[in-house]
């Protein structure tokens, strides 16, 4: 009897607890209501861009998610650009203040925001910017402003671009953990850090030319924004002429050296607000909520914008990973929807699984039979990222997009030396000559290596054929510019890998033109899980992002970067169409 009484009490207690949680859930939602009505924009306001979160091209259905502001760990570039476009025509918004340190975006994403700000200024509205410390990408964005200010004890980093590549050959020899490499393409250097202790001339050449092209694109725009010559800017970079606020002002990089309260006084003067009155500041994250329902495009006919962002893996995929599951569902939905008249594929990926890339490529080919498909390239659309783009009717890239890298490789971990050192001996038994395909504990055999090499060559030939077919060129012509080499958007247009230089809006406009549309709306794919759904999934344990953040905090950013690169190489399955190196531009 006591057992039944205790059981009943436990059941009732659980029901009461769940009931309380249910009520608290709705109270929680109401407290954090982010509806449009909750955001009030007063007359004579300034929109403030802080850009404190990492920027992704697309974060999914965050606008409809009441928990987005609590659980999202990134901002959507599409939402930022839309907010700036809406603010341009908003009579209550008189200007923009960029109050930012360390923008967490790629170069092409930064360029897209800069272009949107340039369009905002065309309405005669002002843009001011203030920072304690400008890194080069921050300054590149700031250079579109009418006036640039820096803290008196701050600094400005303007020295030209560089890239650092880590090499792990000695690490492998010391640990006994080796990465076996099979590749095609003389520039396919994603695996070079595991084969050598120094950079090859081919790799050095392509990195130097790539960052040189990216730097030229940045400097050209900065020169126009600051009314300085390209030669003068390069001289400033060579002499570190912006390293102190005084130097930066004397060379024309900035307009003023002020504290933040003095910067606010300048904003008040621009708005013609009395010094004793408060500024009407609207934060970007709040304005995004208000501007999301106010899409600049409307109409019964639609253009589908499908976002492919992250590494390419075999499987379902998600917000940060491109898998054939989620991507092909999105492409089919857009293809089979009669209201969708054209498709824009936004690619931001360094590549990954060659098999998945080909599966997605095929789905795009099927979509092309029914409606135009245009590609817009983001920060990077290389290797597998270029593979899935190659068949489009037309390809747009930003000048600072990193693309190309038409080449393939395979990496296979081997711990023979480590096993010998710690006393492990593995014995295999099989029914046929090649039934034991490969062992982590045995040196790679010639037969296995030749079979993998054969697969690499076949995949590379298929890659060439796909690109040649999509670009209307011969495989010989593509092979000359392939070999795993990466190119900037500017150079990719010159050699025929892309058709036009432009942003996502330019690609959408071209899609509308090809579909003969004047009035149209935008439909975005895919739809990701909301922040609350991801929270529920993670309640059983610590999320992957949380665990990774903990590890990085404990061992430091540099050690964590090395760990990620080694782990990525060991986790790769199948033949890879991936970026030829981990590109960290500084």
Average pLDDT value for the chain: 85
Whether 521 has a pLDDT exceeding 50, the answer reads: yes
CB 325 within 8 A of CB 315: yes
Highest mean pLDDT among 191-200, 276-285, 370-379: 370-379
Name, in order, each residue with C-beta under 8 angstroms of 85's C-beta and a sequence gap of 6 or more: 116, 119, 120, 291, 296
Order of strands, sheet of 256-257, starting from the edge strand that comes earlier in the sequence? 256-257, 147-156, 126-134, 93-99, 45-49, 281-283
Residue 381 in any domain: the answer is yes
Enter the DSSP assignment of 92: T
* Res 560 pLDDT > 50: no
What pLDDT does residue 68 have? 53
Same domain membership, residue 311 and residue 282: no
Region 35-43: mean pLDDT is: 71
Reported as a single tens digit per residue, the pLDDT across 458-488 is 999 999 999 999 999 999 999 999 988 899 9
User: How far apart are alpha carbons 148 and 128 in whole angstroms?
Assistant: 6
| Residue 421 shares a structural domain with residue 485 | yes
pLDDT tens digits, 192-250: 888 888 888 888 888 999 999 999 999 999 999 999 999 999 999 999 999 999 999 99
Q: What contacts 24+ positions apart, CB below 8 Å, involve 446-453? A: 449/180, 449/182, 452/182, 452/410, 452/412, 453/182
Q: What is the torsion angle, in degrees rounded to the nearest 10, for the CA atoms of residue 321, residue 323, residue 326 and residue 329? A: 150
pLDDT of amino acid 67: 54
Domain presence at residue 330: yes
pLDDT at 63: 46
- Give the domain-ending residue among 253, 270, 291: 291
Q: Is the pLDDT of residue 186 over 70?
A: no
Q: Domain end: 291, 311, 330, which one?
A: 291
Question: What six digits make up the tokens of 523?
Answer: 């439909």
- The confidence score (pLDDT) of residue 577 equals 67
* Active-site entry in 88, 137, 188, 524: 188
- CA 490 → CA 229, 380, 404, 481, 520, distances in Å? 20, 13, 12, 14, 30
Residues 456 and 394 in one domain: yes
Round to the nearest angstrom and report the end-to-end CA distance of the chain: 72
What pLDDT is stored for residue 30 in this prediction?
47
CB 376 within 8 A of CB 336: no
Tokens of residue 425, six digits: 């001996």
How far is the C-alpha of 548 from the C-alpha of 43, rounded, in Å? 44
Contacts of 469 (CB under 8 A, 6+ apart): 390, 391
How far apart (Å, rounded) are the C-alpha atoms in residues 336 and 334?
A: 6
**Which residues make beta-bridge pairs with 376?**
346, 396
Q: Are residues 440 and 315 in the same domain?
A: yes
| In a shared domain, residues 323 and 433 | yes
CB 351 within 8 A of CB 322: no
Instruction: Give the pair of three-digit tokens for residue 326.
Output: 């989620």
Q: Active site residue: 383, 394, 488, 524, which one?
A: 383
Q: CA 394 to CA 344: how far, in whole Å?
A: 10
- Over residues 79-99, the mean pLDDT reads 95
Q: What does the buried/exposed string (b/e) look like for 370-381 if buried means 16 or more CB atoms within 10 Å of the residue's CB?
A: ebbbbbbbbbbb
Residues in CB range of 369: below 8 A, 6 or more apart: none
Give the range with max mean pLDDT: 98-102, 328-332, 404-408: 328-332
Beta strands in 185-326 (DSSP E): 256-257, 281-283, 302-309, 311-313, 321-323
Domain containing residue 337: CATH number: 3.90.226.10
pTM of the model: 0.84
Looking at residue 540, what is its pLDDT? Answer: 47
Q: Which two tokens stand for residue 287?
A: 């304005």
The count of domains in the chain is 2
Structural domain including 451 reads 302-529+572-578
Q: Last residue of some domain: 265, 291, 317?
A: 291
Active site residue 545: no
105-158, pLDDT tens digit by residue?
999 999 999 999 999 999 999 999 999 999 999 999 999 999 999 999 999 999
Highest mean pLDDT range out of 139-143, 288-292, 298-302, 575-579?
139-143
- Do 256 and 319 lie in one domain? The reply is no
> Closest Cα to residue 76, out of 309, 317, 397?
309
Same domain, 262 and 135: yes
* Beta pairing partners, 117: none
Same domain, 287 and 414: no
pLDDT digits (tens, 9 = 90+) for 296-329: 677 889 999 999 999 999 999 998 899 999 999 9
- How many Å apart are CA 35 and CA 76, to the nearest integer? 18
382, two tokens: 């290389």
Residue 234 counted as domain residue: no
Bigger pLDDT: 566 vs 320: 320
Q: Hey, is 241 helix, strand or coil?
A: coil
Instruction: Quote the DSSP letter at residue 443.
Output: P
pLDDT band at 295 (very low <50, low <70, confident <90, very high): low
Q: State whether 117 and 261 are in the same domain.
A: yes
The DSSP code for 439 is -
Q: Do residues 314 and 343 both lie within one domain?
A: yes
Q: What is the pLDDT of residues 51-63, one digit of tens each?
A: 988 999 999 754 4
Q: Which helix (H) or strand (E) holds 56?
A: strand 55-56
Residue of 155, 156, 160, 161 lying closest to 238 (CA atoms) = 160
Report yes or no on 495 lying in a domain.
Answer: yes
Distances (CA, A) of 576 to 340, 421, 422: 33, 31, 31
Catalytic site includes residue 295? no
């Amino acid at each position: 009897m006591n057992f039944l009484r205790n059981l009943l009490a436990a059941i009732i207690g659980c029901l009461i607890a769940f009931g309380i949680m249910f009520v608290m859930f709705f109270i929680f939602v109401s407290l954090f209501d982010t509806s449009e009505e909750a955001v009030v924009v007063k007359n004579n306001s300034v929109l403030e861009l802080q850009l404190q979160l990492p920027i992704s091209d697309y974060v999914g259905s965050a606008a409809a998610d009441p928990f987005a502001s609590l659980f999202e760990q990134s901002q959507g570039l599409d939402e930022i650009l839309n907010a700036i476009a809406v603010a341009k025509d908003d009579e209550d918004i008189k200007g923009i203040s960029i109050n930012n340190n360390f923008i967490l975006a790629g170069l092409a994403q930064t360029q897209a925001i800069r272009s949107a700000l340039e369009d905002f200024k065309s309405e005669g509205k002002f843009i001011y910017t203030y920072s304690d410390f400008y890194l080069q990408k921050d300054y590149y964005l700031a250079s579109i402003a009418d006036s640039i200010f820096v803290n008196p004890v701050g600094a400005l980093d303007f020295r030209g671009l560089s890239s650092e590549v880590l090499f792990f050959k000695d690490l492998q020899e010391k640990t006994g953990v080796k990465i076996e490499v099979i590749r095609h393409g003389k520039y396919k250097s994603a695996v070079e850090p595991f084969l050598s202790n120094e950079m090859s001339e081919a790799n050095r050449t392509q990195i130097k030319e790539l960052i040189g092209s990216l730097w030229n694109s940045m400097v050209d725009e900065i020169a126009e924004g600051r009314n300085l010559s390209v030669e003068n800017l390069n001289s400033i970079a060579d002499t570190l002429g912006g390293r102190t606020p005084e130097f930066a002002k004397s060379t024309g990089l900035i307009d003023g050296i002020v504290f933040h309260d003095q910067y606010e006084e300048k904003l008040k003067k621009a708005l013609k607000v009395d010094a004793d009155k408060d500024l009407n500041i609207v934060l970007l994250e709040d304005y995004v909520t208000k501007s999301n329902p106010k899409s600049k495009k409307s109409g019964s006919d639609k253009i589908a914008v499908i976002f492919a962002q992250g590494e390419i893996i075999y499987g379902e995929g998600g917000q940060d990973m491109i898998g054939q599951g989620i991507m092909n569902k999105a492409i089919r939905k857009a293809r089979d929807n009669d209201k969708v008249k054209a498709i824009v594929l936004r690619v931001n990926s360094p590549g990954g699984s060659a098999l998945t890339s080909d599966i997605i490529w095929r789905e795009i080919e099927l979509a092309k039979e029914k409606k135009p498909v245009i590609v817009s390239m983001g920060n990077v659309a290389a290797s597998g990222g270029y593979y899935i783009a190659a068949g489009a009717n037309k390809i747009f890239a930003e000048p600072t997009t990193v693309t190309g890298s038409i080449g393939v490789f395979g990496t296979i971990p081997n711990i023979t030396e480590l096993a010998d050192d710690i006393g492990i001996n593995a014995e295999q038994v099989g029914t046929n000559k090649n039934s034991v395909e490969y062992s982590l504990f045995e040196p790679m055999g010639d037969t296995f290596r030749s079979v993998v090499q054969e697969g690499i060559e076949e995949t590379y030939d298929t890659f060439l054929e796909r690109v040649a077919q999509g670009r209307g060129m011969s495989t010989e012509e593509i092979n000359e510019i392939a070999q795993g080499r990466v190119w900037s958007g500017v150079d990719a247009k010159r050699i025929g890998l892309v058709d036009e230089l432009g942003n996502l809006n330019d690609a959408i406009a071209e899609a509308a033109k090809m579909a003969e549309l004047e009035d149209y709306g935008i439909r975005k794919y895919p739809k990701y899980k909301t922040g609350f759904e991801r929270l529920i999934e993670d309640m059983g344990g610590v999320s992957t992002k949380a665990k990774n953040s903990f590890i990085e905090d404990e061992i430091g950013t540099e050690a964590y970067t090395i760990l990620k690169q080694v782990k990525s190489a060991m986790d790769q399955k199948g033949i890879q169409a991936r970026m030829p190196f981990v590109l960290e531009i500084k």
